[in-house]
């Protein structure tokens, strides 16, 4: 699946998108963030306060307990500040 990052999440991780292949044991969004954190310091920095991170699966907002099976694109970003 493709992971995409925006705003300071993107800056902290150092790139805007990447292909990721989490193991089957990673079933939901919260688990995926924990798995990403283990990938390195920059991920740990981006996800240091997971509660504030907003997530979208295939361009629809989801909660952290959403299942990731079948997702093509998962986006991680800070609270939105448009308008």
Smallest distance, Å, CB 40 to another protein? 22
Give the number of other CB atoms < 10 A from CB of residue 22. Answer: 16
Q: Which is nearer to another protein, 20 or 27 (CB)?
A: 20
Residue 36: alpha-carbon gap to chain centroid: 8
Q: Which residues in 41-80 contact another protein (CB under 8 A)?
A: 56, 59-61, 75, 77-80
Beta bridge partners of 77: 54
Q: Which is nearer to another protein, 23 or 83 (CB)?
A: 83
Determine if residue 3 is left, alpha or beta; phi over 0 gives left, psi from -120 to 50 gives alpha, anything else beta.
beta
Q: Under the rule (CB under 8 A), what is the footprint of another protein?
A: 4, 6-8, 56, 59-61, 75, 77-83
């Amino acid at each position: 699946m493709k992971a995409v990052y925006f705003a300071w999440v993107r800056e902290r991780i150092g790139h805007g998108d990447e292909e990721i292949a989490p193991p089957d044991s990673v079933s939901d969004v919260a688990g995926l963030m924990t798995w990403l954190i283990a990938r390195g310091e920059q991920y740990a920095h981006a996800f240091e306060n997971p509660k504030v991170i907003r997530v979208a699966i295939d361009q629809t907002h989801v909660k952290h307990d959403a299942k990731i099976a079948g997702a093509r694109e998962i986006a991680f970003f800070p609270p939105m500040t448009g308008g």
